A and B are shown apart, each in its own frame.
Chain A
Amino acid sequence: MFMGLTYTEAAEFLALKKTWNSTSFPWKPKNRTGIPPTLECLFTLKGDYGVMEDVLVVLRHKSSSIPGVPNSFNAVLLFHQQRLVSLDENGLRKHTNRVGIGMPFFGQTLTHPHLHIPVPDSMDGYAEPIDTRDIQEMWQVFLTTSGIIGAPALHLPTSEQLELSL
């Protein structure tokens, strides 16, 4: 039966100092099937003793096929395969917090961008708004919440890389 990490474990891990471990953003098309066509970047992080095990940051970019709808960007911090922090910038779709009792945005409906974080009653499903449309500012919110230091400015895929994903 699925139990997952506890909130305490997640909070302790987020409080740990983690150092960015790369100087570039090597965007690549996602796997063989390309469903949906997505570009990905995977990064390890460093702790006090070197590369942290079972810790990964995954960036994803999906081009929109609908006129007027922006491309989607997602940044995720994974710990033991559990999605702990997720930055969602995904156009017009709204999000409602049905979990997160006692949290400031419980029960509220948000637009994008927003940031998913663990809450005591659930690892998934609670998000808080990010009050900017600037992608670099969103990136900083993601890094700060994740406890990551030393990361460079975000580089989104180039137009040549975007064509590879289509």
Chain B
Amino acid sequence: MNCELLQRQWGYTCQPVADGVLYAESPFLLVGDGSHLGAYIQNIGSNKVRLSDNADTLFNAMTYGVQFRKSTLKTLRSIATSRGLELSDNGELHAVCSESQVGDYFARFIEAAFMFGEFLQARRPEPTSGFEKTVTKILLDNYGSRLSRAASAPGASGHELQFPLGLDIGKPGQQFIQAIAAKSDGTVNWRSVYQATGKFLDLKNNEIPGGRVVVIEPTNNIESIRQAEVILQNAARVIEYTGPDHLLKEIGLAA
């Protein structure tokens, strides 16, 4: 196995890495990143080679914050298996084949790595939910430059608190605003509720003037919204989102 043969027969980019090790690369890219998909091809004797991604595909996903839960790994393993490859316990996509099969296996390898990329891109953490974006757009359309993105203020703890939205920041009627989206199954995101409560209490305890507002997305259980309001009531004013007009009216009342 050598680079000249790989390049001539299959048209891949190829370069020697070490004695008995080559790196072959395709023109295809890892989804949402731009890294080329390729494989290290290691001669292991008896006319056999071992293809490996050196765990780079999963390592790349880690840099985007992807967590490898059991269900995630199960899906990745099934993708690898469906292409006649394996995913090791160390996150390495690999396969062993004869030298004469390397073209076929390289193609399978690139297919699997591409599918990994698509699957893992969807598992990157989401910085902002669709609901948060909706609230932002409504307020931005109405208030324009009066609305700040990523408003910050010091809390009593000494932490610099960041809020997704701020209205008239620096003025007497300033408001710090945080939207809380429902979870994908339509229930209250309690983690977000408790996080917002702690943050707004920290702001309140530092006697920062102005309004503290939570806009909460309706859920499939009205009682759970009331429970969230109970948790938040001492920390921030809660607006249950029912539509743009209602939101603007409530924000205007707080100004």
Contacts and interface: CB of A to CB of B under 8 A. Distances in A.
A80 B56 contact: no
Contact of B128 (A4, A31, A35, A127): A4
Contacts of B90: 34-37, 65
B149 A94 contact: no
A67 B111 CA distance: 24
Given A35-B90, A62-B55, A66-B21, A3 B133 contact: yes
A78 B65 contact: yes
A54 B128 CA distance: 12
A60 B62 contact: yes
B149 A93 contact: no
Interface string B18-42: 1111010100010011111010101
Contacts, number: 165
A60 B128 CA distance: 25
B190 interface: no
B15 A92 contact: yes
B34 A97 contact: yes
Contacts of B59: 36, 38, 60, 62, 72, 74, 90
Chain A facing B: main interface SS? loop
Contacts of B128: 3-5, 80
A164 to B, nearest CB: 14
A95 B36 contact: yes
Interface residues of B, number: 54
A98 interface: yes
A94 B25 contact: yes
Contacts of B17: 66-69, 92
Interface in A77-103: 78-83, 86, 88, 90-99
Contacts of B32: 124-125
Interface string B137-163: 000000000000110111001111110
B152 A49 contact: yes
- Residue of A36, A68, A81 with most chain B CB atoms under a 10 A cut-off: A36
Contacts of A69: 17-18, 21, 23, 40, 54
A108 to B, nearest CB: 10
Interface string A3-40: 11110110011000000000000000011011111100
Contacts of B73: 33, 35
A86 B205 CA distance: 36
A94 B36 CA distance: 5
A153 interface: no
A77 to B, nearest CB: 11
A50 B158 contact: yes
A126 to B, nearest CB: 7
B210 interface: no
Given A36-B62, A60-B59, 18 more contacts: A5-B128, A6-B149, A9-B150, A30-B62, A34-B90, A37-B91, A38-B62, A49-B153, A53-B161, A65-B55, A66-B17, A66-B21, A67-B17, A69-B40, A81-B125, A90-B56, A91-B56, A125-B33
A-B pairs, top 8 by smallest CB distance, nearest first, are A68-B18, A36-B91, A36-B55, A49-B154, A49-B160, A35-B91, A68-B17, A81-B125
